[in-house]
Amino acid sequence: MTKESQRALLEIQQAQTAFKLAILRAYLAPMLAKVARFGKPIMLIDGFAGTGASGTDQGSTAIMLEHARRGRYNVPVKVRAVERDFDHYAKLEALTEAARQGGADALAWHGMIEDHLFSLLRQATGHALFLFLDPYGAQIPFDCLAGALATLRGNRYPPTEVLLNVSAPLIFREFGIVGDEWTPSKTKRADLALGGVWWHDVARRLDSTADRVREVTEGYARRLCSATGMTWQTVPVFRHPRHDVPIYNLLYVTRSSDHGLATFIDAVGRARPDYLVAVEGEGDLTLFGDSGDWARGEAKRQQTATQPHIEENLRKIAARGDEFHPLSIPQEVYGNATGVATGTQVERALRTLVEAGELCLVNKKGSKHIEGVYARATRG
């Protein structure tokens, strides 16, 4: 690989990392504000924490600490971080120590998240929980994660939200499938992470890598959710928007449609401009400079273009005749606009249909925001 292509690869990797961290930033503030209303303390767990930094920017634990400190919630927000590599852990410990000096309830552990998960979740009893699992490759063993969530976080309240990085290289390169080559002896770690050998057949049956990644990720999500009674949403993250095969999928798992799924889908849409700006920074999207202006404009244009699709989805839901709360069925409302649109497009679509006389709104919670809004067809 030439120096130039190495540099390009690094920068492209930064774009996909920038996206993940931007999603975390966009998600945490509204999630914390909504979940704090349940009146329970909140625990944020970073299971594959790294150093706390990402290049010169904040890493996931630093973002969690900042949100825990910055928000004025009526409940305590605690941060727990686990890291296997000792050098990374030493930096992480320095970061959490500084946060403790500033009054935060923050602790770092050296070790493997699979060895700490049950004990951390026991400490999280009575707390709302957000668990972030972001490995480079293999996820933690399926039985460990599914078992811990099913037994220690089996109830709807206090809420449990999980964000996982499900790596495509894990499924293919690292475990023996490159193109048509297939090395079953290498699949052991993937079998553990994915919860068995079910995925071998899926990978063999399908021809294209893009289909394999999608089916295996969705199969994993279905299994995890059937074992835990939760629901899910995946977001494919590409090294470049023009690629077919995601470098990883973010998998969001929750029992809540409102503060869970709707908040997450909105956060992905809000984070997307940062991703396009990072890709543009590589000079790879446009020849018009790297100020980020083009990418932000393009992201906005794409977001605005989703509104007719969302309007059509709302019409179909309203045609069923019942009153509905859009935030309770965000996957139906966003449909194919998931990953691009935000709550702003949903609000605008609702307003457009009301102005056209197709929908009427009932504001049940006295809020001027979408949170309290129910809708129904005007006629029917």
Residues forming the site for ligand SAM (CB under 6 A)? 21, 48-50, 54, 59-60, 82-85, 88, 112-114, 134-136
| Min separation Cβ 101 and ligand SAM, Å | 21
| Min separation Cβ 58 and ligand SAM, Å | 8
> By C-beta, is 115 or 322 nearer to ligand SAM?
115
CB neighbour burial string for 63-79, b if at least 16 within 10 angstroms, e if fewer? bbbbbbeeeebebebbb
Q: What residues contact 65, with CB distance under 8 A and at least 6 apart? A: 52, 79, 95, 96, 99, 104, 106
d(CA 15, CA 18): 5
| Min separation Cβ 87 and ligand SAM, Å | 9
| Min separation Cβ 153 and ligand SAM, Å | 19
| Min separation Cβ 85 and ligand SAM, Å | 4
> By C-beta, is 45 or 353 nearer to ligand SAM?
45
> By C-beta, is 169 or 176 nearer to ligand SAM?
169
Q: Does residue 268 contact residue 235 with C-beta atoms inside 8 Å?
A: yes
> By C-beta, is 63 or 276 nearer to ligand SAM?
63
Task: Tell me the residue nearest to ligand SAM as measured from the CB.
Answer: 59
> By C-beta, is 60 or 345 nearer to ligand SAM?
60
> By C-beta, is 65 or 152 nearer to ligand SAM?
65
> By C-beta, is 30 or 50 nearer to ligand SAM?
50
On the CB side of 270, CA atoms within 13 Å amount to 18
Look up residue 226 and give its two tokens. 């059937």
> By C-beta, is 116 or 223 nearer to ligand SAM?
116
Look up residue 151 and give its two tokens. 């037994």
Residue located via tokens 């490759």: 137
> By C-beta, is 64 or 314 nearer to ligand SAM?
64
| Min separation Cβ 256 and ligand SAM, Å | 23
Angstrom CA distances, 225 to 8, 131, 145, 220, 283, stand at 37, 15, 11, 9, 40
| Min separation Cβ 114 and ligand SAM, Å | 6
Q: Does residue 244 contact residue 163 with C-beta atoms inside 8 Å?
A: no
| Min separation Cβ 350 and ligand SAM, Å | 35
| Min separation Cβ 73 and ligand SAM, Å | 23
> By C-beta, is 136 or 157 nearer to ligand SAM?
136
| Min separation Cβ 115 and ligand SAM, Å | 8
Angstrom CA distances, 257 to 44, 150, 196, 369, stand at 19, 19, 29, 17
Q: Supply the DSSP string of 159-228, one letter for each residue.
A: -EEEEEEEEHHHHTTTTTEETTEE-GGGGHHHHHHHTSSHHHHHHHH--SHHHHHHHHHHHHHHHHHHHH
Helical residues (DSSP H) of the chain, grouped into ranges: 3-36, 60-70, 86-101, 113-123, 142-152, 168-171, 188-194, 198-205, 209-228, 263-281, 293-305, 307-318, 330-334, 343-355
| C-alpha dihedral sign at 293, 294, 299, 305 | positive
d(CA 149, CA 121): 8
| C-alpha dihedral sign at 326, 269, 124, 35 | negative
